[in-house]
Amino acid sequence: MVDWIGKYGLSPMIYLIEVGLLGFLILRGHARRLISILLYLASLLALDGIARPYVWARYGLSSREYAYFFWVSDVALTLAAFVLVCALFRRACQHLEKRMWHDVRRLLTLVFFLVLGISYLVLSQNFKNLFSQFIIEFQQNLYFTCLVLITLLYVLMQKVEPVDDELTLLVSGMGIQFAGPAASLALLRLAPEEGIARFLATYVGPLCTLGMLLIWFYAVAQTPKSIAVHGLGRKDPELAEAVAREA
Amino acid sequence: MIVASLILIISTGLFFFYFQVTCQRILRRRFERDYFLSIVNANRLEFPAVRKALEDFDAPVDYPRVRMTLKCDYLALSYLLKNAANVDQRYTREERLLMLYFRVVFFFLGLRHALKLGEKSAIINLTAILQYFANVVGKRVTTVRFGNLAASDYLLSL
């Protein structure tokens, strides 16, 4: 029953929510404001929703081709999430001094290229030996690096005024997305033969993705937005008139 | 092994931390008015008294009684969430998430009591969740009208 839900219930539900959230962002005019989220969702849908099922259908679930594609696309998605975290850092730094953002940007660029370089080197050296504990350890470390970055972002956000509720929810969604798989892969490394560790490693990832998507949906659809009015009276005389009337 | 153990512990801790952050953000939702009051009065719920006793008077916690009170209020409110003025007769996603959060905090309340770590913050957390549920029910009941009477007026007239 659990296997059936995992195979035929969970994944289609995730794809549906991904499509729904993408549609919602575009149709409700959030696409420009949340372009980084939109691009990440698009890459998630393209790799996880389209490419993986295609490779599965073509080569079969237990084939080497599918396994290679699964793990390499997983690394690509984690790196895409890394870029998204950088974009969220940018948004969090909006209300801080410009100099601070410059410092953060430099640091993030350095960390990103470091992670990218190490990932490339380690993967290319072990590409023939991918189906071992190596890939589990590698992905666990990559997830954990992202989780540390997300937590740093969360700490930074606590110093920023005004509080951005939407950003907090977006970040906590990502926190759940990376904390769950990092923990389950670490458990799998510690107890590779245990059934429960294998079960958790299989299902925690998709469940956390589902949780992240639902939290993002809530963040975008429910959180009231604070609107900053710049140049009142110059750009929108009708709004200025309405505000004056209310006053 | 040590690195994997550390990652397991830290990631699990952060998972629960972000889960809590999400739930706390949902609980921060502001309602136009205190809808929960009419629901508390109509159903004789006790969680506001528990909260007041802890916050205003710093009263010592009568654990078995408080636990029973919160559990009964939770059962009443979860029933009302599903059945009172709810056309779909099912919980929304955030209600499900908060119900899960309530159960997790309730479990940790028992754990904190057993370890003698102090239960006050967990109890205040639980009353905040119950207040949110009561606000949601109150808002729904106020919105749905039966003839000239709002459902809350009807409940209060019983």
CATH number at residue A233: 1.20.1070
Q: Would you state the structure tokens that stand for residue A231, as one six-digit string?
A: 């140049």
Distance to chain A for B15, nearest Cα, Å = 5
Mutation target to probe the B interface, by most B beta carbons within 10 A, among A150, A170, A178, A218 is A218
Cβ contact (<8 Å) for B25 and A186? no
Cβ contact (<8 Å) for A190 and B21? no
Average pLDDT of chain A?
81
Give me the count of residues in chain B: 158
Residue A26: predicted pLDDT: 92
CB A162 within 8 A of CB A86: no
CB A186 within 8 A of CB B5: yes
Could you state, in order of their start, the residue ranges of all structural domains in chain B?
A: 32-157
pLDDT band at B156 (very low <50, low <70, confident <90, very high): low
Of B4, B18, B28, the CB nearest to A176: B18
pTM: 0.80
Residue A231: predicted pLDDT: 41
Strand, helix or coil for residue A131:
coil
Mutation target to probe the A interface, by most A beta carbons within 10 A, among B3, B5, B8, B24 is B8
How far is A90 from A104, CA to CA, in rounded Å?
Answer: 9
Residue contacts between A and B (CB atoms, under 8 Å): 67
**How many structural domains compose chain A?**
1
Mean pLDDT (whole number) for B5-27: 91
Cβ contact (<8 Å) for A183 and B94? no
Give the range of the structural domain holding residue A87, as residue numbers without chain letter: 2-246
How far is A182 from B7, CA to CA, in rounded Å?
Answer: 7
Mean pLDDT (whole number) for B104-132: 89
How far is A157 from A141, CA to CA, in rounded Å?
Answer: 24
Contacts of B14 in chain A (CB under 8 A): 147, 151, 175, 179
Highest mean pLDDT among A5-14, A180-189, B145-154: A180-189
- Is the confidence at residue A33, as pLDDT, over 60? yes
- Is the confidence at residue A68, as pLDDT, over 90? no
- Is the confidence at residue A227, as pLDDT, over 50? no
For B49, residues 6+ apart whose C-beta sits below 8 A from its C-beta are none
- Is the confidence at residue A93, as pLDDT, over 90? no
Q: Would you state the structure tokens that stand for residue A233, as one six-digit string?
A: 């009276």
Q: Would you state the structure tokens that stand for residue A85, as one six-digit string?
A: 């975290």
Contact of A136 with chain B, judged by CB distance below 8 Å, is answered with no
Mutation target to probe the A interface, by most A beta carbons within 10 A, among B9, B14, B23, B98 is B14
How far is B85 from B79, CA to CA, in rounded Å?
Answer: 11
Cβ contact (<8 Å) for A214 and B93? yes
Contact of A183 with chain B, judged by CB distance below 8 Å, is answered with yes
Residue A5: predicted pLDDT: 58
Distance to chain A for B50, nearest Cα, Å = 29
Cβ contact (<8 Å) for B14 and A172? no
Lowest-confidence pick of A84-93, A137-146, B49-58, B140-149: B140-149
Residue with tokens 């929510």: A17
Strands B145-146, B149-150: pairing is antiparallel
Q: Would you state the structure tokens that stand for residue A157, as one six-digit string?
A: 């956000």
Residue B119 sits at φ, ψ, to 5 deg, of -105, -5
Residue B126 sits at φ, ψ, to 5 deg, of -65, -40
Lowest-confidence pick of A55-59, A136-140, A226-230, B108-112: A226-230
pLDDT band at A229 (very low <50, low <70, confident <90, very high): very low
- Is the confidence at residue B87, as pLDDT, over 90? no
User: What are the start-end ranges of the E strands in chain B?
Assistant: 145-146, 149-150
Cβ contact (<8 Å) for B14 and A173? no
* ipTM (interface pTM): 0.79
CB A122 within 8 A of CB A147: no
Of A140, A179, A190, the CB nearest to B15: A179
Strand, helix or coil for residue A49:
helix
pLDDT band at A228 (very low <50, low <70, confident <90, very high): very low
